[in-house]
Structure 1
Amino acid sequence: MNSADMVWILVATTLVFFMAIPGLTLFYGGMVRARNVVNMFMQCFATACLMVVLWYVAGYSIAYGDGNGYWGGFGKLFLNGVTLDTMVGTLPEILFFAFQMTFAIITPVIILGACAERVKFGFVLLFSGLWMLLVYAPVAHWVWGGGFLSDGGIFGDLGVRDYAGGLVVHQTAGLAALVLAIVIGPRLNTNSNPHSPGLVMMGAAMLWVGWLGFNGGSALAADPTAAMALTVTLIAGAASSLSWLAWEYVKFGKFTLVGMVTGTLSGLAAITPAAGFVDPAYALLIGAIAGMMCQEAVYLLRRFGIDDTLDVFAVHGVGGVYGSMMIAPLGIANWTAQIGGIAIVGAYTICVTLVLIFFCKGVVGIRVSEEHENSGLDKVLHGQRGYELLT
């Protein structure tokens, strides 16, 4: 056991949890209309609580158990065999479990932005729980848990490279969000602006702070790789914020607060798979391109009439896949492995997500009534309003 490594991963675990609650919760809450802010807060917080329990019960075993190349198995259900003495590298396994839990929390929460303002609360919980167990956990096993996409798997000695979640987190969440948005259909009124740009900015700032633990902690050690990952996370986020602003001004003649911080998240998603492999100059390039690329993806989806309410696919899906591909030109990753990994993870995510959507729809329904959507979900579903003076 290395005490320095342990202290750093304790801090990183706290930072990544901080990303979901309160970071992503505030970001999403500010993006929706005032009449739906409590509903958005409820979805994020309740989903996070559910993921904690499910990761303990079965998620960790599926992702990091000693099964086979495709499935971790059930040998570590309820942390069976995990004690204070069992180790993962230089860390107590219980700490590794907690750090990986925070990734399993935030990934389903990211998806919620795609179906905001029109989906039933019961559907959110049922779908999120099944999706984490049947999509996120198996993919984490394939890439990070010694599965068939990792070194020694189907791509040989040099397997898929995903430092902190470009495929495992951002591609899976982004594609699931896209499928969900298409199946559910657009809101009755899509001509709305974020009700509180200030909340959006505060949430984004918390996400950026938390992302230092997300990427820096993925080294699983207090070492130079962690320091570089943290540094390039700052650089890519800043570069993407500025490039989004510049491109937005070229196209629309305005600098918007929500646009700037959406650019921040685009750069952070793009640097995530590469953070432990690239230097600051390359991170600057990744971030600068991500700001413009993800912005174009936002408007492309809108032109096709796809109401991904909070731009989950354009930011996380496009950013994560783009960042994963940007590793290959450096020779750090194999082109075949990266493209193959993206294709396999993408196909699996889309297929299982579709099955889960229709299963959950049959069990609890999926969409609220037109009357409830028009009146807002806060009072209807939760008996509360975020702002009591507003109707």
Structure 2
Amino acid sequence: MTINIGNTAFMLLCSSLVMLMTPGLAFFYGGLVGRKNVLAIMMQSFISLGWTTVLWFAFGYSMCFGPSWHGIIGDPTYYAFLRGITLSSMYTGNDAGIPQIVHVAYQMMFAIITPALITGAFANRVTFKSYFLFLTGWLIFVYFPFVHMVWSPDGLFAKMGVLDYAGGIVVHNTAGFAALASVLYVGRRQKVELKPHNVPLIALGSGLLWFGWYGFNAGSEFRVDAVTASAFLNTDIAASFGAVTWLFIEWFYHKKPKFVGLLTGGVAGLATITPAAGYVSLGDAALIGILAGLICFYAVALKNRLGWDDALDVWGVHGVGGLIGTIFLGVFASKAWNAGGADGLLLGNTTFFFNQCLAVIISGIWAFVFTYGMLWLINLFTPVRVNPDHEDRMDEQFHGEDAYEAAYV
């Protein structure tokens, strides 16, 4: 197989876009927390850029895409330290003609952002040391296995015909339900901050996420063709319809259009279309965006009513978005829009719909149970929760830095 220059260049660009999403997430979360906790929450995203890359290099890529053990996990030694991957190694998942090095880089960017998503749920409450341990364990026992099961050709769910175009199951559902488990384990903040400290920072982060999401979704075709273009446009359509739907619902209840609500609805639309972006029509993408704005808004409202202190609504936006997006894929998928995909429930394929539901339920339950148990285990060795007296000044207490140092002089 020879290198396709166009596809290779496109995938390098998409890898860069997905990388940009992690700093975007850091800005998004940083604007939502208090001004003396900005660096602590942002650092939790940026440490994933470094440490996840180390794990990916050492054994992560091999666990995800190495020879399969019963369809559950790849052999961690096969590509250990990227052994055997050379300039002439080609990605064999399709005939796109891209070097395996590019596949390693692209998938690594997904691994980086996924655990960073979880951090918004326990903002202001978890020590950096315990988060570092959590990041390591969660990647090894949750993220890597589900990447293998869903995206490796030999994976358990892949052999069942389960589809996940860009991470509804692998990224958003697992992260969202891990976030819920962490919220229930860690408990509520002593002082719940109801207002973000910097809305322009949230807007900046949201814009970077939206921009990077084109690489997240369109790049998951691993080549440039008509499906790539439809995934790109579906991403924007769903995000836009999700944003406007959330805005209108919140406007109705609060009598004022809320900027943060508009941005949050956009992210909900992005998360929900992710598993379906390359498998559904443009009209279905619009409908999915509307349903994302509607359902995720009320999921957040339910969370508030139940008293769950998911500080930045990770479960309501990403967890619920990934769950319903995967189910909607089971309903709306059409081979007319991707011959390599499947027909969904509306076209008579009940087996595909059932398998989509089964995969998203199993992944959600495992992510929840393992996360809760891992936090309990970590707490035996080092405190998971910060001292309540330090919740509102974590930057100074844990990192010896201030985001706005001049403001305190």
- Is the shorter-chain TM-score for this pair beyond 0.5, marking a shared fold? yes
For 1:160 and 1:34, locate their aligned partners in 2 and report how far apart those are by CA, in whole Å. 43
Contact 2:58-2:80 at 8 Å conserved across structures: yes
| 1:64 and 2:71 aligned | no
Question: Which structure 2 segments of 5+ residues have no match?
Answer: 334-342, 345-351
Contact 2:31-2:201 at 8 Å conserved across structures: yes
Contact 2:68-2:155 at 8 Å conserved across structures: no
User: Equivalent residue for 1:115?
Assistant: 122
| 1:33 and 2:34 aligned | yes
In the TM superposition, residue 48 of structure 1 has moved relative to its aligned partner by 2.0
For 1:289 and 1:337, locate their aligned partners in 2 and report how far apart those are by CA, in whole Å. 21
User: Equivalent residue for 2:195?
Assistant: 193
**Partner amino acid, structure 2, of 1:386:** A
| 1:136 and 2:143 aligned | yes
**Partner amino acid, structure 2, of 1:138:** P
Paired residues for 1:72-91 under 5 Å: 72-74=74-76, 75-88=78-91, 89=94, 90-91=97-98
For 1:120 and 1:390, locate their aligned partners in 2 and report how far apart those are by CA, in whole Å. 25
| 1:361 and 2:379 aligned | yes
For 1:150 and 1:298, locate their aligned partners in 2 and report how far apart those are by CA, in whole Å. 29
User: Equivalent residue for 1:44?
Assistant: 45
In the TM superposition, residue 119 of structure 1 has moved relative to its aligned partner by 1.0
User: Equivalent residue for 1:241?
Assistant: 243
| 1:124 and 2:127 aligned | no
Question: Which structure 1 segments of 5+ residues have no match?
Answer: none
For 1:54 and 1:94, locate their aligned partners in 2 and report how far apart those are by CA, in whole Å. 16
Contact 2:271-2:321 at 8 Å conserved across structures: yes
In the TM superposition, residue 206 of structure 1 has moved relative to its aligned partner by 0.5
1:136–1:268 CA distance, 2 compared to 1 (3 A):
same
Contact 1:108-1:131 at 8 Å conserved across structures: yes
Partner SS for 2:121:
helix
Contact 1:216-1:226 at 8 Å conserved across structures: yes
In the TM superposition, residue 19 of structure 1 has moved relative to its aligned partner by 0.4
For 1:378 and 1:230, locate their aligned partners in 2 and report how far apart those are by CA, in whole Å. 38
In the TM superposition, residue 147 of structure 1 has moved relative to its aligned partner by 4.0
Superimposed CA distance per residue, residues 22-45 of structure 1 (whole angstroms, 9 cap, x where no aligned partner): x10100000000010111121111
TM-score under structure 1 length normalisation: 0.96
For 1:13 and 1:93, locate their aligned partners in 2 and report how far apart those are by CA, in whole Å. 13
**25-34 or 355-364: which moved more?**
355-364
Q: CA RMSD in A?
A: 1.2
In the TM superposition, residue 245 of structure 1 has moved relative to its aligned partner by 0.4
Superimposed CA distance per residue, residues 312-334 of structure 1 (whole angstroms, 9 cap, x where no aligned partner): 00000101111111112235341
For 1:126 and 1:148, locate their aligned partners in 2 and report how far apart those are by CA, in whole Å. 27
**Partner amino acid, structure 2, of 1:41:** M
For 1:192 and 1:133, locate their aligned partners in 2 and report how far apart those are by CA, in whole Å. 34
Contact 1:167-1:342 at 8 Å conserved across structures: yes
Contact 2:221-2:228 at 8 Å conserved across structures: yes
Aligned length: 384
| 1:370 and 2:388 aligned | yes
Contact 1:33-1:192 at 8 Å conserved across structures: no
Percent identity of equivalent pairs: 40
For 1:296 and 1:149, locate their aligned partners in 2 and report how far apart those are by CA, in whole Å. 33
Contact 1:149-1:160 at 8 Å conserved across structures: no
